[in-house]
Amino acid sequence: MGKNPYSNIFPYFCPVKTFAVSDKPILIAGPCSAESPEQLSLTFAALAQCGKADIFRAGVWKPRSRPGSFQGMGSEALPVLQQLQALHGIPVAIEVAEPEHVEQALKHQIGIVWIGARTVSNPFSMQKLATSLKASGIGVMIKNPAYPDIDLWSGAAERLIENGITQLAAIHRGFFPFEKTELRNTPRWEVPIEFRRRFPDIPMIGDPSHIAGKKTFVADIAQRAFDLNFAGLMTEVHHDPKHALSDSRQQLSPDEYCRMIDGLHYRVGFSENPEFTNHLEDLREKIDVIDFQLLELLMHRMRYVDEIGQFKKQNNVAVLQLKRWGRILESRLEQARQAGLSESFIRQLLEMIHKESIARQTEIMKKNT
């Protein structure tokens, strides 16, 4: 096998296994928007004193959904951030959306950038940015696109890799919700899990602020990210959240942030304890056996589905039988409740099985035999 392209990641973006060994997550914190030199200085100083920020983040150019919304200080923030970076010895990360932003970042010795959800959602914009970042030596973090399109997110990573960028991390900030929920964005944890399967050596950073939308949910989302072995967090922190010019409801004060970090439990990727390893393997083998049994049961069930489909066709009976489907849902969900299983999970599972059954019987109806 060839050399791992992510093996020379700079100190903040190490392979996940390295983080598991060091038992230390990447902690990125700072305001949603760069508002003023005073705001940046106060927030930076508070986080430096807290000692729980490896990287200071600030939105210099904010792509807003509607015109008239505050878009950040723009390039005027960069010399301020450059000075604060040197003063506190903490590297700065900013969002870039255009090649000109990359040029400005390099000019002011900003060594870390992130690419936002709106930009990642546009392959043309991603290609321009990837080209401009080539040979820059900048560390790049790529947020997930606004909608749960894993290929779009993967494509953004591939464009950067093709341009020789190996200092990479991904950020999970949730997805646009299609229905009203308590959270600002839907987590859809299965999507970042699939991204990590495709790119196992690109660290995954959780963005609890954008998923939560309200500060009251930030800690729970952050812990969930650590429970799923995320490599770190990017949290929005403002010295005076109530008067923030953007996303005030989801930003924490420095004190709130430091207390949150102290209360979180960072999970390592593996344990070298042989007793743990042996017991875990034993339990996983049992799950493997059950998984094979489940697949065999599904295979047998689909055979009966096909047989019923043939019988319906011979007797000119419609595929969809709503009364039967209603009885199945009612009885199986009652069984799930009695067994202590999640009703929503069993409902989704039954709906997926029913959808596949309908599709199989529909294909049988189409055949001329």
pLDDT value of residue 331: 96
Q: Is the Cβ–Cβ distance between 34 and 59 less than 8 Å?
A: yes
Query: How do residues 94-125 score in pLDDT, each as one tens digit?
Result: 999 999 999 999 999 999 999 999 999 999 99
Cα–Cα nearest to 133, from 154, 102, 110: 102
The SS3 assignment for 204 reads strand
Q: Is the Cβ–Cβ distance between 180 and 213 less than 8 Å?
A: no
Q: Is the Cβ–Cβ distance between 185 and 149 less than 8 Å?
A: no
CA distance 270 to 155: 29
Q: What's the pLDDT band for 17 if we cut at 50, 70, 90?
A: very low
pLDDT value of residue 267: 83
**Helices H / strands E in the chain, number of each:** 14, 8
pLDDT at 232 over 70: yes
Query: How do residues 167-206 score in pLDDT, each as one tens digit?
Result: 899 999 999 987 788 999 999 999 999 999 999 989 999 9
Q: What's the pLDDT band for 8 if we cut at 50, 70, 90?
A: very low
Task: Output phi, psi for 115, to 5 deg.
Answer: -110, 125
Instruction: Say which DSSP state 131 is in.
Output: H
What does the angle CA 203 – CA 39 – CA 43 come to, to the nearest 5 degrees?
45
Cα–Cα nearest to 91, from 160, 138, 157: 138
CA distance 41 to 53: 15
The SS3 assignment for 145 reads coil
pLDDT value of residue 2: 37
- H or E stretch covering 205: strand 204-206
CA distance 193 to 204: 9
CA distance 239 to 367: 68
Q: What's the pLDDT band for 68 if we cut at 50, 70, 90?
A: low
pTM metric for this prediction: 0.80
Q: Is the Cβ–Cβ distance between 114 and 93 less than 8 Å?
A: yes
What's the residue count for the chain?
369
The mean pLDDT of the chain is 90
pLDDT value of residue 71: 75
Rounded mean pLDDT of 241-270?
A: 92
Tokens 């609890």 correspond to: 208
CA distance 167 to 269: 21
Query: How do residues 287-341 score in pLDDT, each as one tens digit?
Result: 999 999 999 999 999 999 999 999 999 999 999 999 999 999 999 999 999 999 9
Cα–Cα nearest to 125, from 106, 104, 102: 102
Query: How do residues 331-342 score in pLDDT, each as one tens digit?
Result: 999 999 999 999
Q: What's the pLDDT band for 5 if we cut at 50, 70, 90?
A: very low
Kindly list the structural domains of the chain, giving each domain's residue range(s) and its CATH number in brackets, ordered by start: 16-263 (3.20.20.70), 274-366 (1.20.59.10)
pLDDT at 142 over 60: yes
Tokens coding 227: 């429970």
